[in-house]
Amino acid sequence: MTPLSILDNGVPLKVSYGAALGFCSGFALKKVGKVGAFIFGAGFCMFQSLSYSGYITVNYEKVGKDLSKLLDLDTNGTINERDGKILYDKALDVLGYNIPTGSGFAGGFLVGIRSG
């Protein structure tokens, strides 16, 4: 296989297309994550202030149990790095579905996450 035949079959174009889509997806996901973290933090501050003032009572034990159930993806009873890996792999599967070059997408996704 000659270098010219590699260019003719469109592999570089597919890899760069996948990488560009991966970068945009990773960049956007990190931005959405930052907004989500801000909203979650602001909500916590609001509920904590209302609780402190006596307007509401928050059952933090139930909140913790429900969040653990939601975030424990490997169902071993603890939230650890394996749960994060499962979430990361699931996100890559969904975002990279049916894209011609998944390796280009994964690389671009990592660069997008790091630069977002």
Quick one: pLDDT at residue 113? 87
CA 58 to chain centre: 28
Instruction: Kindly state the tokens that stand for 109.
Output: 């996704």
Contacts of 96 (CB under 8 A, 6+ apart): 18, 22, 102, 105, 106, 109
The structure's pTM equals 0.64
Quick one: pLDDT at residue 17? 78
Task: Give the mean pLDDT per block of 10 residues along the chain (116 residues).
Answer: 51 70 89 94 93 92 89 86 88 77 78 85
